[in-house]
Structure 1
Amino acid sequence: MLQRPVEPRQYTSVAFTESLALQGLSASIGSVGDAYDNALAESIIGLFKTEVVNRHGPFKTLADVEYALMEWVDWYNNARLHSRLDYLTPVEYESAYYAQHQPRRPALV
């Protein structure tokens, strides 16, 4: 008797789930087949393909792709203007946030 393929099942690492819990985060993994499974990853991959691969490809070597990816991730995380952040870069927005919200210091014992 042949076994069914593994694809219908979903695997989530116990270590991954525990590390999320330690940080006070909830996993964004839904049940098999729902719309939340890989939506964020697929959106980011789609952006990268549109903004880098389609505009600057084809790449000649794997190193060229890796370098383009690192440049794009640096830009995406640090320099892009974002409408949800009042057209500030993520770095500017985070700096402004922490300037207004001083971190609490732990109580001395």
Structure 2
Amino acid sequence: MGTAGDAYDNAMCESFFGTLEAELLMREHFDTHEQARRRIFSFLEGWYNVRRLHSSIGYRTPLEFESLHAQEQTPSQRGLPTAGQRHGRDRRPAARPWTTRDPTVHGGSTTH
């Protein structure tokens, strides 16, 4: 995060709300709160997230981008995509030296 007043902190959010305002809110009038809520939902789920070209993903629709990404994934031995898979999950964790009590550390003495 940046400092207070930094213009780049919320650039993605500002871009989204600018698009929402320019492409929907300035073009339509809503009589009720419920009507506005339903129209914004249909704008997001029917246009913005599905068919609108996004510059951040190479001027593709999110559906095109997701399908290209899914094609690039290689399945694991169990048939699951490897992205996001936690490797070594079934193995026991390595020794944690920060939790092990060593009597010689911090001036301790050992008795033999």
- With normalisation by structure 2, the TM-score equals 0.58
Higher relative contact order (CA 8 A, sep 6+): 1
> Partner letter of residue 71 of structure 2?
A
Q: What is the total number of aligned residue pairs between the two structures?
A: 80
> Partner letter of residue 73 of structure 2?
H
Q: Unpaired runs of 5+ in structure 2?
A: 75-80, 91-112
Percent identity between matched residues is 36
Q: 2:31 aligns with which of 44, 60, 76?
A: 60
> Partner letter of residue 78 of structure 1?
V
Q: Does 1:46 align with 2:11?
A: no
Instruction: Give, in whole Å, the separation in 2 of the partners of 1:86 and 1:31.
Output: 30
Which structure has greater helix proportion?
A: 1
Instruction: Give, in whole Å, the separation in 1 of the partners of 2:5 and 2:56.
Output: 29
Matches within 5 A, 1:23-42: 29-42=1-14
What's the RMSD between the two structures over aligned residues? 2.3
